[in-house]
Amino acid sequence: QVPLVESGGGLVQAGGSLRLSCTASGRTSSTNAMGWFRQAPGKEREFVAAINWSGHNTYYTDHAKGRFTISRDNAKSTVYLQMSNLKPEDSAVYYCAAARSGETTAIVQALPDNLTWGRGTQVTVSA
């Protein structure tokens, strides 16, 4: 059983919006910090946004601030990434990740091997 499953990716025109979802199962619980990363072709995976276990603390990379919003619904074991004003450079495979502890630093400062990863969802933004 895959512990994290992303959905909501697709093709959208520049300036449009998408909402990604990541549903957790198995041992991933509501006490874990969660985050979103992305990887474009030929580039390294990069951090996008993180949210702590309660949802009260969030952290964004500069390119996401003001355009993306991360949130979570612990009752549904789901984390969301609302993306607005999308640009072609936002095109990438978006991955959900779960940390081993509850605060955003557990996502932002973690080594990739210390996170639990989903399989990703493709986002393509056309010009």
Check: CB of residue 12 under 8 Å from CB of residue 83.
no
Residue at 53: amino acid letter: W
Give me 81's structure tokens: 């990434």
Place of tokens 């992303």: 6
| Residue 26: count of CB within 10 angstroms of its CB | 11
Average pLDDT over residues 69-93: 96
| Residue 55: count of CB within 10 angstroms of its CB | 15
> What are 47's strand-pairing partners?
37
Interatomic CA distance for residues 89 and 109, integer angstroms: 24
> pLDDT > 90: what percent of the chain?
87
Average pLDDT over residues 114-125: 96
pLDDT at 83 over 90: yes
Residue at 95: amino acid letter: Y
pLDDT at 91 over 80: yes
Q: pLDDT digits over 13-61, tens only?
A: 999 999 999 999 866 568 899 999 999 999 999 999 999 999 999 999 9
